[in-house]
Amino acid sequence: MRIHPFAAVVVLAVLPAAAGAQAARQATSPPPKPTAAIPADAPMYARQGTWFGVGLGAGSTSLHCQICDSEDAGTRGTSGYIRVGTTVNGRFLVGAELNGWMRSAEAGSQRVLALTGDGYWYPNPRHGYYFKGGFGYSRYKQWSTDDNNNEIKTGIATGGLTGQVGAGYEVRVNPRMSFVPFVNLIGTARGALFTERSDDTSFERNRLPNRANVLFLQLGMGLTWH
């Protein structure tokens, strides 16, 4: 196919001009912004959405009332928690937490269960330390078994409005999981005190004129999945 000489001249004139215009546009346009990489050691990026945690450690519980034995103060035992919640932002989480403590000895057994709603505040979202606080309800029970009949159990129980404060530090082992050394302090308002007696056929509870409150100190290690 023959190309007219005039058309060839037009093409040769237009191509350099178009190339020059393209180069000018590339020179004047701003460079693309680099994509920010997520630091591997930034805990804030692991705190997203729903989270779940468990913990285990030691605990010390004391029951305070007018008729309680002084030896009940500062009784040591095994404690733990289960918690679940959601992330509000990089600095604040909310959730529900079930804390428990128990001890068994020759003199009898003791148990504390506390269910609270808590807020978890991270002062610096790029670090793992946090403070928490919340309110809920707890139940304390102490009982022993009759020496002559293992079916008969007697003891005391109390419970009431509960407050909790605590602190911890999340040490990330991967983007979604952290080891969490923690300390919690749980205290109850003064509530009604009951005596309880049960056997294989009946259960009796009597309210005493005294009131009681419980202090529960918890220390241990947990795991959190974010």
Query: How far is it, in rounded angstroms, from Cα 56 to Cα 28?
Result: 61
- Which residues neighbour 114 within 8 Å (Cβ) at sequence distance 6 or greater? 98, 99, 100, 136, 137, 138, 139, 162, 164, 186, 216
Strand partners, 57: 79, 220
Q: Which residue has the higher pLDDT, 52 or 4?
A: 52
What's the mean per-residue pLDDT of the chain? Answer: 82
The residue behind tokens 């030691």 is: 58
What mean pLDDT is predicted for residues 181-208? 92
Closest CA to 51 of 152, 156, 192, 178: 178
Other Cβ atoms closer than 10 A to 98: 14
187 confidence band (pLDDT: 50, 70, 90):
very high
Q: Where along the chain do its domains lie?
A: 48-225
Query: How far is it, in rounded angstroms, from Cα 63 to Cα 8?
Result: 102
pLDDT tens-digit readout, 26-77: 555 555 555 444 444 544 456 789 999 999 999 999 998 887 764 455 688 9
Q: Which CATH number fits domain 48-225: 2.40.160.20, 2.40.10.120, 1.20.272.10, 1.10.10.410?
A: 2.40.160.20
Query: How far is it, in rounded angstroms, from Cα 53 to Cα 60?
Result: 21
DSSP state of 151: T
Q: Which residue has the higher pLDDT, 44 or 79?
A: 79
- The answer to whether the CB of 116 falls within 8 A of the CB of 95 is no
- Which residues neighbour 142 within 8 Å (Cβ) at sequence distance 6 or greater? 63, 72, 108, 109, 110, 111, 155, 156, 157
What phi-psi label fits residue 106: left (phi over 0), alpha (psi between -120 and 50 degrees) or beta? alpha
pLDDT value at residue 25 = 57
